[in-house]
Amino acid sequence: MTLQEEIKKRRTFAIISHPDAGKTTITEQLLKFGGAIREAGTVKARKTGNFAKSDWMDIEKERGISVTSSVMQFDYAGKRVNILDTPGHEDFSEDTYRTLMAVDAAVMVIDSAKGIEAQTKKLFQVVKRRGIPVFTFINKLDRDGREPLDLLSELEEILGIASVPMNWPIGMGKNFQGLYDFTHGRVEVYQPEDGKRFVEFDENGEVPTSHPLTKNPFFTQALEDAELLLDAGNQFSEEEVVAGQLTPVFFGSALTSFGVETFLETFLEYAPEPHSHKTVDEEEIEPLNPDFSGFIFKIQANMDPRHRDRIAFVRIVSGEFERGMDVNLVRMGKKVKLSNVTQFMAESRENVENAVAGDIIGVYDTGTYQVGDTLTTGKLKKAFEPLPTFTPELFMRVQAKNVMKQKSFQKGIDQLVQEGAIQLYKSYTTGDIMLGAVGQLQFEVFKDRMEREYNSETIMTPMGSKTVRWIKEEDLDEKMSSSRNILARDRFDHPLFLFENEFAMRWFQDKYPDVELLEQFSV
C-alpha cells in the first residue's frame, strides 16, 4: 500500500459525552467490532479498577473515573481507526480540550432520557470552535427516554447545530422494536423472534407488508415521524457534515450492542480523512506532505508504575514515522532521535509497525518534551500553531512538607507543570509557589503523584478561586500587589495578577486605569 493509501484510510476521532451517558460502553462495543478486544467488559473493568493488567492510577480506580486520556487503535472495514479517549469528569477539561485538538472528528453520545447535559455542552463548544464534524449517537433506547423529535430540537436549540437523523427508533423502553434505517433501506430489529436482525425494504422502498412489524403501532408512528422529518427536516449533506454544520444522528442502545455497528459503518463512511494543520506562519501542512511532522498534545507520566516512564503523545500531521528517525524539536532547535516509540492497541501498548499522518504515537520521554511541541523533518521547519490554553480558576499555595527535600519537590513540580497537568505561578513579592487548576481533582492528583512518583510530601493551602489577568512587563510595579490582587509570574516568567474576584479586579482597574489587563499574555 502506498503512503497515500495508508493515510487516506485513517479515521481519528474522540467520543465526547457527559459522565454516564454511555461513552465507555460504546467504546467497548466499537473495540469489539474492531476485534481489538474479545469481550465487552474490558474497558469497563479498567474504568472501575477490576482490570488485572491495570496500569492506571490509584486515584482513578478509587473514584471509578477516567482521569487520563488514552488512545485505542483498530482496523475495521478497510479503515484504521484511532479513538482518543477523553475523560468525562469536568475537572479534567483542560486535558480533554487538548485531546480534541488532535482529532479529525467527534462522536457525541447522549443519554436519551437526559438530553444535552452540561459537560456535553462544554465539550461541544470546543469541537464547534474547531469546525470538525460531529456525529451524534443517542443512547439507551432500551429504556424509556425523551421523544426523539424533542431530542433533535434540543440539538438545535441548546447546541445550535442543525441535525439530520440517519435512522429512527421504533418505540423505546419496553416497546423498543428496532431502528427504521432509511439510510440503508432496512429495519434493524431489536431482539428479533425469528433471529433475523435485518428486514430489507422491498422494491417500493417499504417494509414488506407480510412482516408483523407493519402491524405494530410503534412502527406506524416511527414511519410517520420519519416521513415528516424527511419532508420537512434538514437534508443530509456530506459537505455540511464535514464542515461541522450538520450533525448526523443515530439511535441505539450501547449496552445491548444495538445500532452500534450500523453507526460505526456509516460513521466511517463519512468521517473525514486526516486534516491539514496550520503552522505559526499560517501555512497548511497537508497530511500527504512526504516530510514527517507532528505535535505533542499530551504528556503522561508513569502509565506503567513499574517503569516510571513518561510518554509524549504525538499526533502525526504529515508523512510517515520510521523507527529511529531523527526529527527537529522546533522549540529547542535541536535534533532528537525517535527510537523508543509505541502505538496504542486496545489491550496493550505495542511497538509501532507503521504510523502515518492521522495516527497517534507515544514517544518515551525523559523530560525533553513539552505539551504543544512540534516535531518535523526535511523541509518542514516551522512550529504548528500553539494549542489553546485554559485559564485556571482554582488556586492552592504549595510547600514541601520536609524543607530538607526541596530538590525532589522542585523536580516533581517542574515535571508535572511541564506535562501540562497543572499551572504554576510564583508570587512576585514572597516567592511562594501557587498552583492553578481547572478543577479540584487536579490538585488531588498532583498531591498524590508528588508523593508516589517524587517522594515529596506537600502541604497545600487552598486560596479559593481567582481571576488571572496578565500585564505588560513595563507596567509591573511591586507596589500594586496586595492580598486581593497578588502579583505573580507564570512559568514562562510573564507577569500577572491573581485577583480575588471580579470586584477586586474592577477596583484595581479604577485605581490603575493605565495598566492594561490581558486575558492572555501577549508581547
CB atoms within 10 A of CB 115: 18
64 in a labelled binding site: no
User: How far is it between the farthest Cα atoms of the chain?
Assistant: 86
515, with CB counted inside 10 A (0-12, 13-18, 19+), is: middle
Contact region for ligand GDP (CB under 6 A) — 22-30, 122-130, 202-210, 214-222? Answer: 22-30
Residue closer to ligand GDP by CB (options 88, 287) is 88
Residue with cell 423505546: 172
Q: Tell whether 24 is in a known binding site.
A: yes
25 binds ligand GDP (CB under 6 A): yes
The single residue among 7, 8, 10, 17 that binds ligand GDP, judged by CB under 6 A, is 17
Nearer to ligand GDP, 254 or 400 (CB): 254
Task: Identify which range of 17-25, 320-328, 342-350, 355-363 contacts ligand GDP by CB under 6 A.
Answer: 17-25
> One symbol per residue from 255 to 284: x for binding ligand GDP (CB under 6 A), - otherwise; what is it?
x-----------------------------
- Residue pair 250/166 in contact by the 8 Å Cβ criterion: yes
Using an 8 Å Cβ cutoff, are 419 and 367 in contact? Answer: no
Q: Which is nearer to ligand GDP, 46 or 449 (CB)?
A: 46
Give the nearer residue to ligand GDP in terms of CB position, either 255 or 314: 255
Judge whether 55 is annotated as a binding position: no
C-alpha cell of residue 155: 440539538
Using DSSP's 3-state secondary structure scheme, residue 136 falls into strand
Rounded to an integer, what distance in angstroms lies between the CA atom of residue 210 and that of residue 236? 30
CA distance 394 to 434: 10
21 a known binding residue? yes
d(CA 182, CA 169): 11
Instruction: Name every residue whose Cβ is closer than 8 Å to that of residue 307 and which is 6 or more positions away in sequence.
Output: none
Beta bridge partners of 130: none
Closer residue to ligand GDP (CB): 188 or 453? 188
Sign, CA dihedral 183-131-94-282, equals: positive
**Cβ distance 248 to 237 under 8 Å?**
no
Shortest distance, position 450 Cβ to ligand GDP, whole Å:
28
17 marked among binding-site residues? yes
Specify burial of residue 150 (Cβ count, 10 A radius: 0-12, 13-18, 19+).
exposed
In terms of CB distance, is 41 or 378 closer to ligand GDP? 41
Count of residues near ligand GDP by CB under 6 A: 16
Say if residue 44 carries a ligand binding annotation: no
In the complex, the smallest distance separating the C-beta of residue 47 from ligand GDP, rounded to whole angstroms, is 6
Query: Is 95 labelled a binding residue?
Result: no
Q: Does the annotation flag 275 for ligand binding? A: no
Q: Least separation, in Å, of the C-beta of 15 and ligand GDP?
A: 8
Distances (CA, A) of 280 to 181, 275, 347, 492: 45, 17, 37, 19
> What's the closest the beta carbon of residue 141 comes to ligand GDP, in angstroms?
7
Instruction: Answer whether 332's CB lies under 8 Å from 323's CB.
Output: no
Q: Which one, 20 or 385, has the nearer CB to ligand GDP? A: 20
| 23 annotated as belonging to a binding site for a ligand | yes
142 marked ligand binding residue = yes
The reply, when asked if residue 373 is annotated as ligand binding, is: no
From the list 7, 14, 21, 505, which residue makes contact with ligand GDP (rule: CB under 6 A)? 21
For 147, list phi and psi in degrees, rounded to 5.
Answer: -65, 130
Parallel/antiparallel/unpaired status of strands 10-17 and 105-111? parallel
Nearest by Cα to 173 from 253, 114, 262, 263: 253
**Which three cell numbers mark 204?**
417500493
**Residues in 219-258 at the binding interface with ligand GDP, rule: CB under 6 A:** 253-255
CB of 329 to ligand GDP, least distance (A): 35
| Minimum CB distance to ligand GDP, residue 392 (Å) | 24
Residue given cell 488514552 in the structure block? 70
- Asked if 379 contacts 400 with a C-beta cutoff of 8 angstroms, the reply is no
Q: Which 107-146 residues touch ligand GDP, going by CB under 6 A? A: 139-140, 142-143
Q: Tell me, residue by residue from 70 to 99, as one string, x for binding to ligand GDP by CB under 6 A and - for no binding.
A: ------------------x-----------
Task: Select 29 or 481, whichever has its Cβ closest to ligand GDP.
Answer: 29
CB under 8 Å to 69, separation ≥6 — which residues?
Answer: 84, 85, 86, 87, 95, 96, 99, 298
For residue 379, say whether it is annotated as part of any ligand binding site: no
Closest CA to 378 of 450, 298, 289: 289
Considering beta carbons, is residue 28 or 359 the nearer one to ligand GDP? 28
Instruction: For ligand GDP, give the closer residue by CB, 66 or 481.
Output: 66
Of 22, 34, 87, 115, which lies in the binding site for ligand GDP, with binding defined by CB under 6 A? 22
Report the binding-site residues for GTP.
Answer: 17-24, 85-89, 139-142
Contact residues: ligand GDP, CB under 6 A? 17, 19-25, 88, 139-140, 142-143, 253-255
Report the binding-site residues.
Answer: 17-24, 85-89, 139-142
